[in-house]
Amino acid sequence: MDFKSTTYIIMGGTTGMGLASAMALKENGANVLVIGRNPESCKKAEEVLGDASVSLSGDATDPETMTKAIHLAHEKFGNITGLFHVAGGSGRKWGDGPLDKITLEGWNKTMELNLTSMMLSNQAMVNYFLEHKKEGVILNMGSVLGYSPSPKYFTTHAYAAAKSAIIGFSKSIAAYYAEYNIRINVIAPSLFITPMAKRAAEDAEILSFLKTKQPLDGGRPGASEDINNAVLMFLHPDSKFITGQVLAVDGGWTISEGQYD
């Protein structure tokens, strides 16, 4: 896929699946701007990505972060082609969990990290497209947990609610902005080896369960690079007849029962 003369912003693009996607875009000719909270991760990402890339340190829940990113990308590369919003996270440490145990802080923080941050980045990107009277694409990061629960090992009900809401939000705005040729889609991974998935990825019991829950390729957790082809497909300008769609990249999660010992 040829991405020459395209520019993408990746919110949450300095580690994990965001960085892997940035590398794939870059390898196919795109300019990329990656955003991360940690300045050290931003520096490392810039080193990995090399020329025709830039990083920005900022909080996805701060409206100014995306505003700065759009200004910087436009100044450096010209017209922006699209946005991939990856940023989000578990609210477990603030009190997300089963409904009978969720704290209000856990609920609010989970929504802020996953849903509010996405609304802010999508809003800023849509406003950019409308202001410049140009078509564009947005890809949002969901999760299979938004519609395919796993009650024994993955019980964070605020997180599931937020990821489910991402689908409704994305489909709704995709419908509204279709007449402007602004496309919005969702990619929904299962368990991948990322910094956020450290708890599950180091649990032998969960890894054993995964062998039957996501049985493709030996029954393993996903690697960050496993989403790259789907990301490239959605973000490419030639995918101009695809909007409002949700694609699971899940190793078979949504079609498998998963067996417990």
* Residues belonging to the active site: 159
Task: Give how far the C-alpha of residue 235 lies from the chain's centroid of Cα atoms, to the nearest Å.
Answer: 13
- Which DSSP category does 60 fall into? T
Distance CA 61, CA 148 (A): 26
**55: nearest Cα among 28, 73, 75:** 73
Q: Count other Cβ atoms within 10 Å, centred on residue 48.
A: 14
For residue 63, the surrounding DSSP H or E stretch is helix 63-77
Side chain identity, residue 172: S
* In contact, 36 and 14? CB cutoff 8 Å: yes
Q: Count other Cβ atoms within 10 Å, centred on residue 105.
A: 12
Distance CA 251, CA 219 (A): 8
Phi then psi for 149, rounded to 5 degrees? -70, 155
Q: Count other Cβ atoms within 10 Å, centred on residue 146.
A: 22
**260: nearest Cα among 207, 221, 222, 217:** 207
